[in-house]
Amino acid sequence: MKIFTNIKELREDLDRARAAGHSVGLVPTMGALHEGHGSLIRAACAENGYVVVSNFVNPTQFAPTEDLDAYPRSLEADCRLAKEIGAQAVFAPEVQEMYPEGDSTWVEVTGHLTGILCGRTRPTHFRGVTTVVAKLFNIVGPCRAYFGQKDGQQAQVIRRMINDLFMPVELRIMPLIRESDGLAMSSRNAYLSSEERQAALVLSRTLNEAQKMMEGGQLDKAAIVDFITDSIKAGALGSLDYAEIYQFPDLSEMGATLSGQVFIGLAVKFGGARLIDNVVVDLAP
């Protein structure tokens, strides 16, 4: 497996792979890889002859008050994992390579989709995400790109960008991978103390219970949001950032009575760690 830090060299390798008849799979990550990332790389390897895993902690998607400097970094272990799974390349550029003249050109999905959920409390976050992902798509060229439902809103924002800008990318959204006790895998779980790690189970447990209530006939949106809010508050250590409900997959507004495919998104802060989780409940008859 090759490790590139340089755009030109990666592109030359991609040209050779395409000339040899391989399709290209791209797995964008910020590193500190875990099995959630592993599942994306595995899916990419099953469907493409050449898989590149990008590994870049993108500064423009962090607000000045957020955890950019503290974000976990483990490039060597990440490369080992990508190689073990079967990727052909890791692309791990420096900030200077990705933003050679600063961050003056932005790619931004505006409106409802980036104003809700994480967009409400992190108003500049998705602009950073779409900008860096657009750069990666331009570097890699036509490909299949793999994203996780763990970041369900992000996946829909990327879908909008691809569709609106006619990008030659086939988006593949893969299932959310959890630890055996239900906690959604995340690089940010590394921030948690053992007490917080235990308390963080409140996210998946609450979503699970909300799903059961809905499947049992509780279709009042406000009642479900109240239940989630109370359940997180009862968890003591965590403070609720948001609990919101939308139509899946496009995250359009949901009426007061839940119906169809329902997306519940949740963000909870534990000390310096902000954890997100979500579930999709299918109420279609």
Residue located via tokens 């959204």:
173
Total residues binding ligand AMP (CB under 6 A) = 17
Q: Which of 3, 185, 213, 237 binds ligand AMP (CB under 6 A)?
A: 185
Bond preceding residue 249 cis, omega within 30 of 0: yes
Report in angstroms how near the CB of residue 56 gets to ligand AMP at its nearest: 9
Residue located via tokens 């998104």:
265
Active site residue 37: yes
**Could you say whether residue 40 binds ligand AMP (CB under 6 A)?**
yes
Which residue sits closest to ligand AMP, CB atoms considered? 148
Q: What is the contact mask toward ligand AMP in residues 74 to 113, using x (rule: CB under 6 A)?
A: ----------------------------------------
Supply 85's token pair.
């799974």
Q: What is the dihedral of CA 115, 37, 140, 106, to 10 degrees?
A: 20
Q: Which of 48, 88, 153, 187 binds ligand AMP (CB under 6 A)?
A: 187
Catalytic pick from 34, 37, 112, 125? Answer: 37
**Could you say whether residue 29 binds ligand AMP (CB under 6 A)?**
yes
**Could you say whether residue 151 binds ligand AMP (CB under 6 A)?**
yes
**Could you say whether residue 30 binds ligand AMP (CB under 6 A)?**
yes
Q: Which of 87, 90, 167, 184 binds ligand AMP (CB under 6 A)?
A: 184
Q: Which of 117, 162, 176, 214 binds ligand AMP (CB under 6 A)?
A: 176
**Could you say whether residue 45 binds ligand AMP (CB under 6 A)?**
no
| Helix 201-215 vs helix 221-234: crossing angle, to nearest 10 | 150
**Could you say whether residue 147 binds ligand AMP (CB under 6 A)?**
yes
CA 232 and chain centroid, separation: 22
User: Binding residues for ligand AMP, per CB under 6 A?
Assistant: 29-30, 36-37, 39-40, 147-148, 150-151, 174, 176-177, 184-187
Any idea which residues carry the catalytic annotation?
A: 37
